[in-house]
Structure 1
Amino acid sequence: MPNLQDLRRRVRAVKNMRQITKAMKMVSAARLRRAQERVTAARPYTNKMMQILGNAARRAPEYTDPLLSGHHRETETESILLVVVTADKGLCGGFNTNLTKAAQDFLRKNDHNRVELVMIGRKGFDFFRRRAAAIRREHLNITGSGKVKNEDVIKITGQLIADFMSEDKPVDTIYLLYNEFKSALSQRPVVERLLPIGRIDDGATEPAESGDYLYEQPPSEIYGQLLPKLVENQIYHALLESVASELGARMTAMESASKNATEVIDRLTLNMNRVRQAAITREIIEVVSGAEAQ
């Protein structure tokens, strides 16, 4: 049985740990609210862009672009890029583990194709680097501050479009894997096709609503200029969702850790009281025994 001094030391250590987990939970909760506000604030921009793209697509039905339809290469194996968005930090429950499992499932399903990874986030990069996966590029410390910078999104988008349009090492399809934010308790890994985009007339607005657009430039030219912006917006949205999911997962994990720490403290305190009681009882017995011996 541990002595009283050891138990007191363990209680102090667990209490210090509980203070840290409670502080991390409060910080994550405050950042989560701001992250949710950013996700909500980005939706009007996305909706308006889709309206304009849908309108331009109807006015330029014959417009073709590699970003829309791809390369149409006749090969036995497909060249795929999988962009995996993980966190730069840990202590967020199963956030990173669920993503790496989803990425491994994707690699298994496409083992007949040539798949390379583009890692966003240190945790995923370290995981696949240890397993000698084919990593084309990594982007670290992108979401660690809880914010998404426009210059980072523009850089990532430009590199991915360059990969897709490259003639030396052409990429047939680019997929995006990230955690979709449902709630602080629920985050779901999703895989979306990033490139080629495909047709954009499915989500277009009705003709009566789209009659307000008067283009100075040809609709096809506007269409072509907005396509890279659409890819950029999709990456930006994924990063915002990932940040909110990470903060929600960390808040939940730290709350659970704080509860577990409280249970450990209660259990150690009970053991400490038992040890103290046993020591007092033993001393009383010794005193009584000494008195009787006299």
Structure 2
Amino acid sequence: MAATKDFKVRIKSITSIKKITKAMKMVAASKLRQVQRGLDIVRPSFNALNSIYNEYANSASIENKKNRLIIAISSDRGLCGGINTNAVKATKNSIKTIKNEIPDAHISLFTIGDKGKDVLSREHGKLIIKAVSDVSKKSISFGAASLIAEELLKQQFDTYHLIYSKFKSVISQSLVEEQISSANSLENAFFEFNGYEFDSDKSELLYDFYEYFLGYKIFSALLENATSEQGARMNAMDSASRNAGEMIDKLTLIYNKARQASITRELIEIISCASAVSSK
């Protein structure tokens, strides 16, 4: 009976876990729809901005690239598959790659999200100059992204390495690492960018455009990463619910076998006692 009681306790606890994972899946699905709606609005406008920036950046001749800032975007909560692990691995690999290519490079880290910060601080804590958290816990806005962009503009770096997860579908999120030249390294492009006509001062207008692009880029990356987070969490909770259901089925089968064996053993004991009494 002790064995069957243990099985009943385990089945009850796994059933409770299954209810929790199902509820978390529903919550993630609801949040996914909200964030994805915002992402679908932002993507077309960002693609237009990005095409202008690429033409702008291609007209600049960048020489000094020793000062690098890696911006690693992760989530503030766990239970969302391997997107945070992948972001941390990509960040570490990026640090190694830069050190191998430029031995005297000055590398710093700018983390967005608690999960990435907690892991990277163990090995590269000295490189972290700024850590931002609680961005994905609330609705992501362009204002919050602009504040992060302002912090980036204060830093004197030549190149920004932006690492985040890009949303493709609920079951597919791809890790993206992009390089963005800083305003200082693009300064010579203020006078070389002749593909467009300007009504006001060219350099001032282009610098304002760069500030707006950087804020919008961070905003887009935060939305992509948040959508990937909810999609990965929804997928992870669905897998956890299925695994819990399979485990419950297996334990129920073992419980029934143990219960039948216990009943059979008790019947044998009763019949044996009855036979012994009747023979006397």
| TM-score interval, smaller chain | 0.7 to 0.9
Contact 1:14–1:265 (CA<8 Å) still a contact in 2? yes
The equivalent residue for 2:68 is 80
The Cα shift of 1:114 comes to: 2.4
The Cα shift of 1:50 comes to: 5.5
Q: Which amino acid aligns with 2:232?
A: A
The equivalent residue for 2:107 is 115
Between Structure 1 and Structure 2, the one with more helix by share is: 2
Q: Deviations over 1:139-181 (max 9, x none)?
A: 0111123x213332111100101103xxxxxx22111000111
CA RMSD of aligned residues (A): 2.8
Q: Pick from 90, 100, 103 the counterpart of residue 91 of structure 2.
A: 103
The equivalent residue for 2:133 is 140
Distance 1:46 1:6 in 2: 57
Structure 2 CA distance for partners of 1:274 and 1:53, relative to 1, 3 Å: closer
Contact 2:146–2:216 (CA<8 Å) still a contact in 1? no
Contact 2:69–2:108 (CA<8 Å) still a contact in 1? yes
For structure 2, the 5+ residue unaligned runs are none
Residues 1:217 and 2:200 are matched in the alignment: yes
Contact 2:142–2:216 (CA<8 Å) still a contact in 1? no
TM-score, normalised on structure 2?
Answer: 0.85
Q: Which amino acid aligns with 1:265?
A: I
For structure 1, the 5+ residue unaligned runs are 63-67, 165-170
Distance 1:51 1:108 in 2: 30
Structure 2 CA distance for partners of 1:270 and 1:185, relative to 1, 3 Å: same
The Cα shift of 1:224 comes to: 2.5
Contact 2:18–2:240 (CA<8 Å) still a contact in 1? yes
Alignment of 1:1-294 (within 5 A): 3-47=3-47, 49=49, 72-73=63-64, 78-111=66-99, 112=103, 113-133=105-125, 134-145=127-138, 147-164=139-156, 171-196=157-182, 216-294=199-277
Contact 1:178–1:189 (CA<8 Å) still a contact in 2? yes
Structure 2 CA distance for partners of 1:82 and 1:53, relative to 1, 3 Å: closer
Q: Deviations over 1:98-150 (max 9, x none)?
A: 111111111111122221110100000000112243111100111123x2133
Distance 1:245 1:266 in 2: 32
Distance 2:53 2:106 in 1: 32
Structure 2 CA distance for partners of 1:52 and 1:189, relative to 1, 3 Å: closer
- What is the identity percentage for the equivalent residue pairs of Structure 1 and Structure 2? 35
Contact 1:86–1:122 (CA<8 Å) still a contact in 2? yes
In structure 2, the residue corresponding to 1:3 is in which secondary structure?
Answer: helix
The equivalent residue for 1:65 is none
Distance 1:246 1:86 in 2: 9
Structure 2 CA distance for partners of 1:54 and 1:12, relative to 1, 3 Å: closer
Distance 2:229 2:47 in 1: 25
Contact 1:53–1:223 (CA<8 Å) still a contact in 2? no
Count of matched residue positions in the alignment of Structure 1 and Structure 2 = 264
